[in-house]
Structure 1
Amino acid sequence: MKTTALAEAVVAGAEPAELERLDVPSVYRAAHLRKDEVGSFDQDDEDKDVRRTLHVGEVPMPELAEDEVLVAVMASAINYNTVWSAMFEPVPTFAFLERFGRSDARHDLPVHVLGSDAAGVIVRTGRAVRRWRVGDRVVTSPAYVDGEDPVVQHDGMLAGDLRAWGFETNFGGLADFAVVKATQLLAKPRHLSWEEAACNMLCASTAYRMLVGERGARMKQGDVVLLWGATGGLGGYGVQLVRNGGGIPVGVVGTQEKAELLRRMGCPYVVDRSQLDGGLADEKGWRRLGAEIRRQVGEDPAIVFEHTGRETFGASVYVAKRGGAVVTCGSSSGYAHEYDNRHLWMKLKRIIGSHGANYQECHEVNRLISLGMVHPTLSAVYPLEGAAEAARAVQLNQHVGKVGVLALAPSEDLGVEDHALRARIGEDRLRLFRRPL
């Protein structure tokens, strides 16, 4: 697809006045699903390969609502919701778009542009947008909420119409342009490249709410925290937040190579699942896991950081200490959990549901990233044309940390503004996940 004058101007670093002068294209390049392919996987397909359904090509440009901005996307990232979307599980996302279309017809289309992370440059603003201007460099947060709902003033994640942008809405970040509510925008960390900036917000803010926010587990100094998938997209940020907050991280991984990466991150206690005899299918396995944690740390976890779901949830409830908490934000291995409820009620444990992060929590974690206190977990970068391959790598768990996708950015390592801060932090820390395992 030929690039447009507006896209070329953004890449060239044009001034805001020039960006405002150039026309917005009528179509743009995007990674998307097609409604007519829903049902293309059989129920008993063992491998629902997302490369079959995730396409890159032209889609129509929507009109902006008055509280939205149009962002020229320099880079984006893959999240597991993109994998679920391309598998049409647990339900096809076109059901979300059809329901949303009853109040905003723009979203109910035969194509669904995916992507819940992005970094880029604002090229248009709706007339009600006050705090942002054309030319601003931004990153996006994923919560799409109605600012007129009263509960949003308390906690945006309680909004009745809360939607995950690029999953339950259209016009997401895996594209050359994205439509974003003004309340999703945050200033791009100046010391990061486009792809480094684009990979953080969904996972880092989710981990922040789970562990630090007042609606999550509220970790305190000295808390032992067990983190499943500790070198993954969520876990890599969770480990950093636990260490920064004075907690004691115990990371669970599946290979010795990932265990070594955890140690390079400064996580002193590591459990390699592949070394646990018999796995975690029953209470015998849970006991072995608990014994290994106590052997290393001397006590049971006060908090278990859960997002893997079916395979691990029974173990999580079991190993949490008396009065401890399991905080969960997802179920990548399956939604139907089984656990022994005696270990929950008789030992006064808690299960805390946590979903995404509100705007203030996103602001707080973006501040930590901008100060250089939390670092990207970017491990690999694909071009937008390779978005399906990038999603496939996440589907097969062939990655660590986050997988980035370049959109308009012509190459990696562009977009850095604060070179002094970057030098103080050091490339080794910023690129830790890029080193071979």
Structure 2
Amino acid sequence: MKEIVDAIVSTEATSDDYAALPLPDSYRGIAVRKADTGMFDGLDSGVKDPRKSLHLMEAPVPELGPGEALVAVMASSVNYNSVWTSIFEPLPTFGFLERYGRTSELAKRHDLPYHIIGSDLAGVVLRTGPGVNAWHPGDEVVAHCLSVELESSDGHNDTMLDPEQRIWGFETNFGGLAEIALVKSNQLMPKPGHLSWEEAAAPGLVNSTAYRQLVSRNGAGMKQGDNVLIWGASGGLGSYATQFALAGGANPICVVSSEQKADICRAMGAEAIIDRNAEGYQFWKDEHTQDPKEWKRFGKRIRELTGGEDVDIVFEHPGRETFGASVYVTRKGGTIVTCASTSGYTHEYDNRYLWMSLKRIIGSHFANYREAWEANRLIAKGKIHPTLSKVYPLEETGQAAYDVHRNLHQGKVGVLCLAPEEGLGVRDHDKRAQHIDAINRFRP
């Protein structure tokens, strides 16, 4: 492994040099264990501790199949699916691996008693399998997390509709929170040259998800002048939604939970900000009863910030806690687009405010390859920037996931895998200098 790291850090190794490097027999990765799936039984979600379930383990390097690539992972990041995996909710991920393993002889590799997780990476291609022509050993890459088979016609208009669509590192094994990752070659995209390894690894999943959810015609189809309500506007998803709204000429109304997070949104350029804790919004009277008076108070506050207008689009991901309010405050004919349910999957809302006002609810899940490529292209052009706030070593991934689970973070939390220190991997120093303040906006 040291030879691989030395070659990457030197920047002088050729494609032939990388192809000649011997692959190690094993590598280190962050994993959950099948034997541990019951360890949190009976506990509330909030007290389940990823530090107890995520383990740094040594695993054999997986066999490389057709259309695949092995990547030396310099850095990765923590997403909420890493948290879900670590607390075995809504289901242990081993069911995903078992079902995938039944689909083909090659897929059987994924059905193991351990699951190496992670749905982001920045690194260098080490090997490619038969049939891969677009990528070669030594290419510096990032990876999106869409894994598809495309043997059904259903996926050929929008690959997210492929019946065998999975999220790499969550519904497949050999993910990015590791020293080596196994990906399909069509997951690979060029690493933005002005970013370090850890910065380049941060946007992947959340940037592409926000792009489809907000910008793409498969999502809300945002246009200039739209008022966009963004829950968790300084978080992993929301920080990219805020940037897309601003870059696209829309007006983000940023909902945050502290003055510090409000300051981050102001630094991005947002002006309309609601600190839901400071203003005391409580959308539920108790576990079973919502409070429509709070919806109305919330809507009034939004109109104060927009000059009397309701929101055209709600960027939803908290789920149960906020969904009733989201449906209520959306303008007549507007759109609620949802990609997650981090506060609970059972949504409740008053359907009168949906059907009688001709509103739409759109489900949005990650992004297809084209959307992911476009989102990465905007990062590479310096139009959208990483929102990296903190970086942990691979050994402390459990703490990184704990931070995300407890909402102790801002933006994205990164993880160094093979990179020996932060700040490596920058190739375009001139472009970096142009955007350095934006790149560092979320850093302490």
Task: State if a TM-score over 0.5 links the two structures.
Answer: yes
Shift in Å, 1:4: 4.6
Shift of 1:127: 1.2
Q: Is the 8 Å Cα contact of residues 150 and 164 (structure 2) preserved in structure 1?
A: no
**Deviations 1:59-81, CA, capped at 9 Å, x for gaps:** 12110111000000000000000
- Summarize the alignment of residues 14-413 of structure 1 with structure 2, pairs less than 5 Å apart: 14-45=13-44, 47-103=47-103, 104-281=107-284, 282-297=291-306, 298-413=308-423
Question: 181-190 vs 147-156, which deviates more?
Answer: 147-156
Distance 1:225 1:236 in 2: 13
CA distance in 2, matches of 1:337, 1:251: 22
Deviation at 1:258, TM superposition (A): 0.8
Tell me whether 40-49 or 20-29 shows the greater mean CA deviation. Answer: 40-49
Counterpart amino acid of residue 31 in structure 1 = I
Letter in 2 for 1:40: M
Shift of 1:15: 2.3
Counterpart-to-counterpart distance in 1, 2:304 and 2:210: 26
- CA deviations 1:411-432 (Å, max 9, x no partner) are 001100011111122x211100
8 Å contact 1:10–1:19 — kept in the other structure?
Answer: no
1:422 & 1:27 partners in 2: Cα distance? 35
- Check the 8 A contact 2:82/2:117 in 1, yes or no: yes
CA contact (8 A) 2:335 2:359 kept: yes
Distance in structure 2 (CA, Å) of the matches to 1:267 and 1:10 = 39
Q: How many residues align?
A: 432
Percent identity over paired residues: 55
1:171 and 1:389 mapped to 2: Cα distance?
A: 21
Q: Tell whether the 8 Å contact from 1:116 to 1:165 is kept in structure 2 after alignment.
A: yes
Contact 1:195 1:412 (8 Å CA) reproduced: yes
State the alpha-carbon separation in 2 of the partners of residues 273 and 89 from structure 1.
Answer: 27
Q: Write the letter of the residue equivalent to 2:81.
A: N
Q: CA deviation at 1:23?
A: 1.7
Identify unmatched segments of 5+ residues in structure 1: none
Distance (Å, rounded) in 1 between the aligned partners of 2:155 and 2:8:
34
Look up the equivalent residue of 2:438 and give its one-letter code.
Answer: R
Between the aligned partners of 2:348 and 2:312, the Cα distance in structure 1 is 21
* Distance in structure 2 (CA, Å) of the matches to 1:90 and 1:311: 17
Question: Could you tell me which residue of structure 1 aligns to residue 8 of structure 2?
Answer: 10
Tell me how far apart the structure 2 counterparts of residues 403 and 111 of structure 1 sit (CA, whole Å): 23
Equivalent-residue separation in structure 2 for 1:159 and 1:207 (angstroms): 20
CA RMSD of aligned residues (A): 1.1
Paired residues of 1:277 and 1:285 also in contact (CA < 8 A): no
Q: Counterpart amino acid of 1:69?
A: A
**Which residue identity does 2:345 align to in structure 1?**
Y
Aligned letter for 1:258? Answer: K
Shift of 1:42: 1.9
Find the residue that maps to 1:409 and give its secondary structure.
coil
For residues 108-144 of structure 1, the C-alpha deviation after alignment (integer angstroms, 9 at most, x for no partner) is: 0011000000000000000110111110000000110
- Which amino acid in the other structure matches residue 234 of structure 2? T
Give the aligned residue type for 1:66: P
- Cα deviation code 1:5-25 (max 9, x no counterpart): 334433443322222112211
- In structure 1, what is the Cα distance between the partners aligned to 2:33 and 2:183? 21
Kept after mapping to 1: 8 A contact 2:9/2:425: no
Match of 2:288 in 1: none
CA contact (8 A) 2:156 2:162 kept: no
What is the CA distance between 1:278 and its match in structure 2? 4.8
Instruction: Give the secondary-structure state (helix, strand or coil) at the position aligned to 2:28.
Output: strand
C-alpha separation in 1, matches of 2:152 and 2:207: 25
Residues 276 and 289 in structure 1, CA contact (< 8 A), matched pair in contact too? no
Deviation at 1:201, TM superposition (A): 1.2
Conserved? CA contact 1:4–1:25, under 8 Å: no
| CA drift at 1:105 | 0.6
Question: What is the alpha-carbon distance in structure 2 between the residues aligned to residue 329 and residue 170 of structure 1?
Answer: 22
Distance 1:220 1:12 in 2: 45
Residues 192-229 of structure 1, C-alpha deviation per residue, up to 9 Å, x if partnerless? 00000000010011000011101111111100000000
For 1:404, the aligned partner's letter is G
User: Partners in 2 of 1:219 and 1:278 — Cα distance?
Assistant: 27
Deviation at 1:149, TM superposition (A): 2.9
Query: 2: distance between equivalents of 1:305 and 1:79?
Result: 18
Query: Conserved in 1, the CA contact under 8 Å of 2:68 and 2:182?
Result: yes
Q: Structure 1 CA distance, aligned partners of 2:101 and 2:425?
A: 36
